Amino acid sequence: MNIILLGPAGSGKSTIAESFSKYLEDEGYSAGVVNLDSASPPRYSPISDVREFVRAEEVMEKEGLGINGALLRSMELAAEHLDDLIPKDGWDFVIYDTPGQLELFMYTSFGRELVSRLESFTVGVFLADSTRVTSPSTYSAMIAQSAIVTLMLEIPSITAFNKSDRARVKEFEHYARELEGEGVLGEFFEKLLKFVEATSVIYRPVLVSAKTGEGFDELFSAVNEVFCACGDLS
Ligand code: GTP
């Protein structure tokens, strides 16, 4: 199975890629991480690494681009190396660690190209940063972002709120209640809930900590639930 980790910069994708792969190994599975972030060398040992083919800092220099333009261009260049990046060995789980600039998945075909080349079942895990949930509107913005990115990739997905050792997000209904009677925002939130319910196999957010491993059992169950639900649907 493939797990594509998505989410904004700093939400903890690289940290959870490493710790969740170790968790899977402790559960008796073979698990490896593929680094797709061309901007910085990973702290873990990847089974394949986009930086062997494309480095954002070199693209900046060669093509005279700023950091954001270089990241977009790096994704286009990386797409040419997908055959080398996707591992061929029989891993039980391959985790793809992606760059935090979500527009890369909206404005380049890299994400879809990757998904179309993956032969086994693929699930997206959108990682949000719990410490950044400061209001019902930041919560709904994260849920909306998760839904949009995974719709763009056309894969079933789970939203996981990371850093639960530092801050704990509340249930969806809590934020919905806070927004009741709040006019346009409240109405938007209500519609968003229906949208998320309609577009996600699992719409309840999972709380995790990449640092302590809290919530990993639940995340693993959610991944399996998505697999089974999609299996039943096909
Ligand atoms: P980009 O590569 O910029 O997209 O970031 P990322 O999403 O890969 O985040 P990364 O794993 O680099 O983590 C960002 C920071 O958050 C680091 O300082 C991590 O140590 C910290 N961090 C990640 N997960 C957790 C967590 O569960 N709890 C706490 N307290 N800190 C965390």
Note the pLDDT tens digit of each residue in 41-57: 999 999 999 999 999 99
Alpha carbon of 224 to ligand 1 centroid (Å) = 24
Ordered domains of the chain (ranges, CATH): 2-219 (3.40.50.300)
Distance from C-alpha of 165 to C-alpha of 112, rounded to nearest angstrom: 33
The CA angle 96-194-163, to the nearest 5 degrees, is 40
User: Predicted confidence band at 232 (pLDDT cuts at 50, 70, 90)?
Assistant: very low
Give me the DSSP letters along 135-148: SHHHHHHHHHHHHH
Q: What is the mean pLDDT of the chain?
A: 89
Distance from C-alpha of 58 to C-alpha of 39, rounded to nearest angstrom: 10
Q: What is the pLDDT of residue 162?
A: 98
Q: What is the pLDDT of residue 205?
A: 79
What does the pLDDT look like over 130-149, one tens digit per residue?
Answer: 999 988 888 888 888 888 88
- The residue nearest atom 19 of ligand 1, judged by CA position, is 12
**Where is average pLDDT lowest: 19-23, 121-125, 183-187?**
183-187
Q: What percent of the chain lies above the pLDDT cut of 90?
A: 62
Q: What percent of the chain lies above the pLDDT cut of 70?
A: 96
Q: Taking residues 87-108, what's their average pLDDT? A: 88
* Ligand 1 atom closest to Cα of residue 164: 27
Distance from C-alpha of 134 to C-alpha of 152, rounded to nearest angstrom: 27
* Identity at 198, one-letter amino acid code: A
* Ligand 1 atom closest to Cα of residue 166: 30
Alpha carbon of 31 to ligand 1 centroid (Å) = 20
* Ligand 1 atom closest to Cα of residue 11: 7
Q: What is the pLDDT of residue 89?
A: 75
pLDDT greater than 60 at residue 231: no
**Alpha helices, DSSP H, located in 99-135:** 103-107, 110-117
Q: What is the pLDDT of residue 230?
A: 66
Pocket of ligand 1 (CB under 6 A): 7, 9-15, 37, 99-100, 162-163, 165-166, 209-211
* Identity at 115, one-letter amino acid code: V
Q: Which residues pair with 125 in a beta bridge?
A: 5, 158
Residue found under tokens 């900590």: 209
Our mutation pick for probing the ligand 1 site, out of 5, 6, 14, counting the most ligand atoms within 8 A of Cβ, is 14
Task: Give me 93's structure tokens.
Answer: 């789980």
pLDDT greater than 50 at residue 80: yes
Q: What is the pLDDT of residue 202?
A: 62
* Ligand 1 atom closest to Cα of residue 212: 27
Alpha carbon of 13 to ligand 1 centroid (Å) = 6
